Amino acid sequence: MMWLIAGALIWALGWFVNVRLAALPKSRTTSLLVPLIFGLTLVFIWESVVWGLQIQQVLLPAPSVIAARFAASTSILWQDWVQTVVKGMMSGYIIGCIAAFGMALAVDRFPFLQRGLLPVGNFAAALPVIGMAPILVMWFGFDWHSKAAVVVVMIFFPILVNTVQGLQASDAMQRDLMRTYAAGYWKTLLKLRLPAALPFIFNGLKIATTLALIGAIVAEFFGSPIRGMGFRISTSVGQLALDLVWAEIVVAAITGSAFYGAMALLERKWTFWHPSQRN
Amino acid sequence: MRQSLIPVLTVVVAIITLWYAAAVWLNAPWAYDKAQRAGVELSVSDMVVDTWSQKKPKLPAPHQVTREIWKTTVKKKITSKRSLIYHSWITLSATLLGFALGTALGISLAVGIVYNRTMDMSVMPWVITSQTIPILAVAPMIIVVLNAVGIQGLLPKAIISMYLSFFPVVVGVVKGLRSPDHMQLDQMRTWHASSTQTFWRLRLPSSMPYLFTSLKIAMAAAIVGAIVGELPTGAVAGLGARLLAGSYYGQTIQIWSALLMAAALAATLVALIGLIQRIVLKRMGMAQ
């Protein structure tokens, strides 16, 4: 009971502080502090509900238990992280980006391909591509190669569609100007059209970060060597070691956010001229 | 529309041709292996025929998959456990429930975010962060935990679909509710409209195009959620279960037919929303 009252109090306090902070003029500190306080109160409520209602740790471990488990099993988590993220996800992400990018340049060069491939690409982007995972695992074996292949298949069309759209972003006036400078195809591409396409490309890259992580983890449900985040999650669920599962989820969440954040940072650095970045 | 028909058809034909070629390439080793053990010399044409008709090929040819789909949809009774329609229905019901829940959650969150500054500042960053968490990784746990509490069947899968589909709705509707410009909002003020009236007469109608675009994305995400939600339940029923069972027993034709069925389902549902969008926007006088 004490726990529940404490939880309610913390919630009220956190919300009160946030209301006061939100009423202040918007600044960098408030826009960082408000969500942080909100998140912390949520974690605390979780903790107090678990202890207050005496929920079994097998069903929903308290955040403190998860943190303890996280600290105790860093070596397992690290090993899984290397297998899934570094080997599976990153290699797939790089291959997929290069393939989609090359394809986008070809599509852009030939209008016939553009009219034919883009509808198919848009269609494919809406499909449950993750279903390809068992087939790719069958083709490329249980190790990280099949995970990279799943990632490639998942991110290919979102990046392709966005890049093609971006390459059309420069307007006719600008292209005419390049022509008056006697710039050829490649020069126009490098100096005008690629920079103009960057906001769209980054949009695709950002969507692809989460897709890549999901693909790499879910592919491991269909078979993997005895390490990897997806493998650990599916086997630990079987053993009802939910604290370890949650620790893996924390790792995945941090990885996903960091990857997304890195892309967003790169975007801010390279497309500082775009209206959406200038506020 | 008409001028893109020929290029699209060309691409589709090219894909099917590539598919057949890949089937020959991937299945040839097994065909030669079989022939060697039987002590027969295999001519090229025999080899090609064999690669397109193996029982457990690495890559089944399109006609094999089509035949399997035909066999399991039209020729089987719908109530039969081997009917693909039965499995599709299981997945479809979870998808639709999750989609409805996700849309409801998304719209109510969006309204709160637009009308409450505190909520905007505290919830919005977490809504975005929630999508960098690979929820599908959590799917097995949600299913197992809810199962232990006694909730089974449709709801756990629907919850995963909901989690995946609420995000595009929140983002789209927030954008849509904020899309009326100052001039229009000022006009509402000169008419002395209350904020409820502004919501129903101005903000909600102008958010419709945004809403439908995000509903399409949400629907595609909901199907993925339902399929992945079926994986950890031990492959009982549904398209995801067919995928998993197929991968356990090496039944590639079954995997591909389930996959194509899922693709058809996704395409139909998204097209359906597109149709509703056209009709609604036309009646509201917003059609482009």
pLDDT tens digits, residue range A111-143? 888 787 777 877 777 677 777 888 888 888 888
Instruction: Pick from A81, A114, A130 the residue to mutate for testing the B interface (most B CBs within 10 Å).
Output: A130
Query: Which of these ranges, A167-181, A216-230, B57-71, B122-136, has the smallest mean pLDDT?
Result: B122-136
Distance from CA of A138 to the nearest CA of B (A): 8
pLDDT tens digits, residue range B65-95? 888 788 777 777 666 777 778 888 888 888 9
- Contact (CB<8Å) A242/B270: no
Distance from CA of A59 to the nearest CA of B (A): 6
How many whole angstroms separate alpha carbon B232 and alpha carbon B187? 55
Give the pLDDT confidence score for residue B117 in this predicted structure.
77
B176 pLDDT higher than 60 = yes
User: Complex ipTM above 0.90?
Assistant: no
- Express as a percent the part of chain A with pLDDT over 70: 98
Is A254 an 8 Å CB contact of chain B?
Answer: no
- Mean pLDDT in chain A? 83
Q: At a CB cut-off of 8 Å and minimum separation 6, what does B257 contact?
A: B65, B68, B69, B72, B84, B242
Give the pLDDT confidence score for residue A279 in this predicted structure.
54
Check if the beta carbon of residue B166 is closer than 8 Å to that of residue B218.
yes
Chains A, B: CB contacts under 8 A, how many?
166
B38 pLDDT higher than 90 = no
pLDDT band at A267 (very low <50, low <70, confident <90, very high): confident
Is A28 an 8 Å CB contact of chain B?
Answer: no
Is A10 an 8 Å CB contact of chain B?
Answer: no
* Averaged pLDDT for residues B147-169: 82
A265 pLDDT higher than 60 = yes
Six-digit token string for B257: 């037919």
Q: Where are the alpha helices (DSSP H) in chain A?
A: 2-23, 28-52, 63-72, 74-81, 91-109, 111-125, 133-140, 144-167, 172-180, 185-188, 194-220, 229-238, 242-270, 275-278
pLDDT tens digits, residue range A145-191? 888 998 998 888 888 888 888 888 888 888 889 889 988 888 888 88
Give the pLDDT confidence score for residue B271 in this predicted structure.
87
A residues 136-155 closer than 8 Å to B (CB): 137-139
Check if the beta carbon of residue B159 is closer than 8 Å to that of residue A69.
no
- Contact (CB<8Å) A233/B141: yes
Is A66 an 8 Å CB contact of chain B?
Answer: no
Check if the beta carbon of residue A167 is closer than 8 Å to that of residue A193.
yes
Instruction: Collect all residues of chain A within an 8 Å Cβ-Cβ radius of residue B250.
Output: 138
Give the pLDDT confidence score for residue B209 in this predicted structure.
82
Instruction: Collect all residues of chain A within an 8 Å Cβ-Cβ radius of residue B11.
Output: 113, 116-117, 120
- Closest residue in B to A229 (Cα) is B137
- Closest residue in B to A127 (Cα) is B263
Distance from CA of B36 to the nearest CA of A (A): 23
A55 pLDDT higher than 80 = no
How big is the CA angle at B231 (ends B274 and B62), to the nearest 5 degrees?
Answer: 60
The closest CB to that of B134, out of A117, A128, A210, belongs to A210
- Closest residue in A to B27 (Cα) is A139
Alpha carbon B103 to chain centroid distance? 15
Give the pLDDT confidence score for residue B2 in this predicted structure.
62
- Contact (CB<8Å) B122/A249: no
* Averaged pLDDT for residues B143-171: 81
Instruction: Collect all residues of chain B within an 8 Å Cβ-Cβ radius of residue A39.
Output: 126
* Averaged pLDDT for residues A210-230: 82
- Contact (CB<8Å) B220/A60: no
How many whole angstroms separate alpha carbon B94 and alpha carbon B222? 9
- Contact (CB<8Å) B145/A242: yes
Distance from CA of A89 to the nearest CA of B (A): 13
DSSP letter at A130? G
Distance from CA of A177 to the nearest CA of B (A): 30
- Mean pLDDT in chain B? 81
Is A35 an 8 Å CB contact of chain B?
Answer: yes
Q: At a CB cut-off of 8 Å and minimum separation 6, what does B261 contact?
A: B69, B84, B87, B88, B239
The closest CB to that of B4, out of A119, A210, A223, belongs to A119
B288 pLDDT higher than 60 = no
Identify the residue whose tokens are 């149709």. Answer: B275
Distance from CA of A191 to the nearest CA of B (A): 30
Give the pLDDT confidence score for residue B99 in this predicted structure.
93
Distance from CA of B233 to the nearest CA of A (A): 11
pLDDT tens digits, residue range A85-112? 888 889 999 999 999 999 888 888 888 8
Give the pLDDT confidence score for residue A69 in this predicted structure.
86
A42 pLDDT higher than 80 = yes
B234 pLDDT higher than 60 = no
Give the C-alpha distances (Å, rounded to integers) separating A209 from A214, B132, B133. Answer: 9, 8, 11
Q: At a CB cut-off of 8 Å and minimum separation 6, what does A115 contact?
A: B3, B4, B7, B8
Check if the beta carbon of residue A81 is closer than 8 Å to that of residue B137.
no
pLDDT tens digits, residue range A71-80? 888 888 888 8
pLDDT band at B1 (very low <50, low <70, confident <90, very high): low
Check if the beta carbon of residue A230 is closer than 8 Å to that of residue A220.
yes
Give the pLDDT confidence score for residue A278 in this predicted structure.
64
The closest CB to that of B134, out of A23, A135, A252, belongs to A252
AA letter at B12 = V
What pTM value is reported for the model? 0.80
How many whole angstroms separate alpha carbon A115 and alpha carbon B240? 33
Better-predicted residue by pLDDT, B50 or A215? A215
Instruction: Collect all residues of chain B within an 8 Å Cβ-Cβ radius of residue A12.
Output: none
Q: At a CB cut-off of 8 Å and minimum separation 6, what does B163 contact?
A: B102, B130, B135, B225
Query: Which of these ranges, A157-161, A229-233, B67-71, B206-210, has the smallest mean pLDDT?
Result: B67-71
Instruction: Collect all residues of chain B within an 8 Å Cβ-Cβ radius of residue A237.
Output: 140-141, 144, 232
Is A135 an 8 Å CB contact of chain B?
Answer: yes
* Averaged pLDDT for residues B132-160: 76
